[in-house]
Amino acid sequence: MLQKTKEYSHRGNLSISMPTLYDSNSNLLQKQSSGKKTPQIIAALIASLTAFSAGTTIGWTSQISGKLFDGEFGFKITQNELAWVGSLTPLGAAVFSLFAGPLCDTLGRKLGGLLFILPSLTGWSLIIWSKCIGMLYAGRFLTGMSTGAFCVFTSLYNHEIAQKEIRGTLGSFLQLMISSGILFDAVVAKFVPVKLYTMLCGLIPIMFAVLFSFMPESPVYYVQKQNQADARAVLIRLRGRNYDVDKEIKEIETCVMENNKFSGMKTFKASWKKGATKKACVIGFGLMIFKCICGIDAITAYTSYIFTNANTSLNAQTATIILNGFQMSAAIFQSFVVDKCGRRILLMLSSGVMTACLATVGIVLMLKNRSMVIEESYKYINYLPIFALAIFCVAFSLGLGPIPWLMMGEVFPQEIKSWASSLATFVSWIVTFAVTDLFLEVDATLGGDVAFFLFAGCTLTAVMFTLFLVPETKNKSYDEIQSIL
């Protein structure tokens, strides 16, 4: 279950503002039940269509950079304009992510989720009927706003309707559906005209609205509004009549009351004076920033552009599909690994492998673009960027992608968790915007090899950061974590 404050679940690789998960040692999470699982899974899958839509927004440019350059939208764009088209989405997400959580608390999870499609539909309409670059910019910014809100909503709703036994599975739907949306972009954009491809992306929020209108409100929201009767009806619908819904309602009430104890400026100021709080902020904010500056978002946004410039033997669009297929497979596998291994070892292993992969791509680009080897040698290294970036995506999904969200929820003290999680999420979206926007500029002025070497330097620094500052939090209670900070 979730509190009404903001934080993210541990299943995402994007920078988004999330509601705060209840402490893993609460009575609610210790509850054992034999309630029905199928209604919960169906509701979570339908809610996660918003994450699928977010994935299509994030990956929209991944396959069509060349088509945009060639003017298939009715007007040609420059490389600098492509950088803005790619980066305005995280900027829009940063702006709206600060308001999505409070709107869900005020309007309800269901109504909030349905209203969040309005910027998306408006944005996709502007993109489809763009007559100039300004309309394309506006459309990307608006769809970005919905992207930030969708990810908040998906995590919040899926965790609040889930039993403990399947909370991890339902929580993993966010990253899985985002990766699925990106793969959808890669496949569809390769085989259909760009306008039709964009229309199909715009239909997904409509599909969500139709299906989700039949889904229930979150039981936690009803309890927060002191509407126990409706909360009980929702739990019966999701768990079945043989489930002890009254006991769960009491446990939700206890968790909500405990959360209210940590509100207030005096409590916040007292917590900030503690050394553990300051170290927790360094760890939480640091990991979120490293997650963004590793280059994953720029690589996702400009995949076909990168492969085209790398002059690989494989078709750039086919390589993009392969890369995104690896990413989605890793998202599935990740849900079975992250809760069984230590956070530190996964972070260091992930960052280390990513460093090697990024350095490999940088070396190949340097050898080819700076004519350091003869062309006859290209056949021996042409496939290395594809292989390296595929492993890079897998490594990211197993460590540096989801674990910063998980660690943020574990190390931030309860007194500042809502504020710190929201601010860290906002900062990570801004960093994503900067990296996505500057990548093409660095590529054009200094070379693609320099960009990948910079990314490799960032992930290597993440290894050192984890080694010296990040504690192991697996199987530790909240009090144990705070005592070792």
232 C-beta neighbours (distance < 10 Å), count: 17
- For 268, phi and psi rounded to 5 degrees? -65, -50
Number of domains the chain is built from: 1
pLDDT, averaged across the chain? 83
What band does 32 get if pLDDT is binned at 50, 70 and 90? Answer: very low
Residue 8 lies in a domain: no
Inside any domain, residue 27: no
Residue 264: predicted pLDDT: 61
SS (H, E, C) 117-130: HHHHHHHHHHHHCC
More confident residue, 268 or 109: 109
Contacts of 387 (CB under 8 A, 6+ apart): none
pLDDT of residue 10: 37
Short-list 158, 180, 160, CA closest to 171: 158
Alpha-carbon distance of 5 to 261, in angstroms, equals 13
232's tokens: 């009980």
In a domain, 11, yes or no: no
Tell whether the model's pLDDT for residue 38 goes beyond 60.
yes
Whether residue 165 lies inside any domain: the answer is yes
Phi-psi region of 26 (alpha: psi -120 to 50; beta: other; left: phi over 0): beta
Please give the pLDDT value at position 89.
94
The reply to whether 402 falls in a domain is yes
Query: pLDDT, tens digit, for every residue of 406-431?
Result: 787 678 876 777 677 778 888 888 99
Alpha-helical (H) ranges within 263-315 are 265-272, 275-293, 296-301, 303-310
| Residue bearing the bigger pLDDT, 377 or 319 | 319
Whole-number pLDDT of residue 339: 58
User: Do the beta carbons of residue 414 and residue 478 sit within 8 Å?
Assistant: yes
**Measured CA distances, 217 to 227, 231, 232, 237, 309 (Å):** 12, 8, 11, 11, 48
Which of 140, 118, 7, 14 has the alpha carbon at shortest distance from 401?
14
Task: Please check the confidence at residue 150 and state whether its pLDDT lies above 60.
Answer: yes
pLDDT digits (tens, 9 = 90+) for 201-256: 999 999 999 999 999 999 988 988 889 999 999 999 998 888 888 888 888 888 77
Question: For residue 2, which phi and psi values (nearest 5 degrees)?
Answer: -130, 150
DSSP state of 20: P
Check if the beta carbon of residue 143 is closer than 8 Å to that of residue 54: no
Percentage of residues of the chain with pLDDT beyond 70:
86
pLDDT band with cut points at 50, 70 and 90 for residue 31: very low
The phi and psi torsions of 241 (rounded to 5 degrees) equal: -75, -20
Contact 415, 350 (CB under 8 A): no
- CA–CA separation, 282 and 277 (whole Å): 9
Read off the pTM: 0.79
Please give the DSSP secondary-structure letter assigned to residue 93: H
Q: What is the pLDDT of residue 181?
A: 93
The string of DSSP letters for 323-337 reads HHHHHHHHHHHHHHH
For Cα atoms 214, 215, 220, give the angle at the middle one, nearest 5 degrees. 150
Residue 6, domain member (yes or no)? no
Q: What is the CATH number of the domain that holds 376?
A: 1.20.1250.20
Domain boundaries, position 437? 38-484
Residue 392: the pLDDT is 94
Q: Is 408 part of any domain?
A: yes
The better pLDDT of the pair 173, 256 is held by 173
Helix (H) or strand (E) holding 164: helix 164-191
In a domain, 31, yes or no: no
